[in-house]
Amino acid sequence: MSSTGGTSARPGGPGSHFSSTRVEEKLLRYWLGTVRTAWSPYTAVEVGEPGRQGDWIEVAGPNTTTLRQTINRYADELGGIDRRIAASSFVFAYVKAIVVPAIAMLVTLDTIPDLTAENAKIRFSRSEGAVLWLRSGLASTLAPDSPREQLILAFIRQVLDAHLLPLVRAISYAYGISDRVLRTNVAYVVCTQFGQLEPKGDGPDQRVDDALMFHSLAGPRFADTGTIVVDRANRVIQLRFERSNCCLYRLLADEDFCDGCSETRAARRRARGS
């Protein structure tokens, strides 16, 4: 596996870093453009200098002001709901904005952008929805002779260990919501998103293989969150994630249990045992 790099007319010269950076950004924009239909319903993406400063959510460190303001505004927009429920719902939207472009690139192009919290930022607004800002064009690409698990492990280290799990801890601490519930939200979005991609050709289904490898290599991060299920009954293989705990969405006014909710499965087990 290697990182993308640019070329320069004068390697090591004064302008080489700038030239390399511009080439990396251009290449990443091209890669994102080839899978645009997969991520455009969920987020906008900016690479390099952002179109607008401010309001970017900080995941790590002591400054969680923007994160809390965004969640509180999200709660108000949903009718003034309980902040804990809003925080759980917010995680779904945040994770989709972060991972959908990367998963499309991973499955289709064997490449992922740098998704560490230092390089990948998110903001939400009423007019734009979610916006993903990739500060650099850095990316990891699978070398022809490297095992695929190397790229999946790089994805896990960047998107989970260096971004989404710190986000989960920050929200859990700020709102008193279970770390396990939020980690399950992350697992649900990431694992099911592989299945949202269109399968390519009649050969092995890379979407399914990558999803199963991701879930397996994530190990204890998701061990208590649920099970990834592959349904091969139809012509197109379906992926779903069966949670081991409730996302709390059912507590919203006029809402019901989600399909396959762990609470309804638990109720059926209790009924059979009575």
pLDDT digits (tens, 9 = 90+) for 214-229: 999 999 999 999 999 8
Beta strands in the chain (DSSP E): 2-3, 44-47, 111-113, 120-125, 129-134, 139-141, 226-231, 238-243
- pLDDT above 70 (res 206): yes
Residue 207 has pLDDT above 80, yes or no: yes
User: CA distances (Å), 246 to each of 11, 138, 142, 257, in order?
Assistant: 55, 36, 36, 9
Strand bridging mode 120-125 / 226-231: unpaired
Instruction: Look at 60-74, 137-151, 239-253, 255-269 and tell me which has the smallest mean pLDDT.
Output: 255-269
Tens digit of each residue's pLDDT (9 = 90 or more) over 9-38: 334 445 555 578 889 999 999 999 999 999
Q: Residues 204-220: what's their mean pLDDT?
A: 93
Biggest CA-to-CA distance, the chain: 77
Is the model more confident about 11 or about 88? 88
Give pTM, 2 decimals.
0.84
132-151 residues labelled b (16+ CB within 10 A) or e (exposed): bbbbbbbbbbbeeeeeeeeb
Q: Which one-letter DSSP state was computed for residue 15?
A: T
- Return the CATH class of domain 2-8+18-224: mainly alpha
Q: How large is the average pLDDT for residues 69-77?
A: 91
Q: What number of residues does the chain have?
A: 274
> How is the beta sheet containing 44-47 ordered, strand by strand?
44-47, 129-134, 120-125
**In this structure, are residues 218 and 154 in contact, taking their beta carbons and an 8 Å threshold?**
no
Better pLDDT: 212 or 251: 212
**Annotated domain spans of the chain:** 2-8+18-224
Token pair, residue 232, equals 């091969």
The crossing angle, in degrees rounded to 10, of helices 165-175 and 65-77 is 70
Residue 150 has, within 13 A of its CA and on its CB side, a CA count of: 13
Q: Which of 239, 221, 217, 222 is nearest to 230 (CA)?
A: 239
Strands 44-47 and 129-134: parallel
Confidence of residue 51 (pLDDT cuts 50, 70, 90): low
Distance in angstroms (rounded) separating the CA atoms of residues 17 and 22 = 9
DSSP state of 146: S
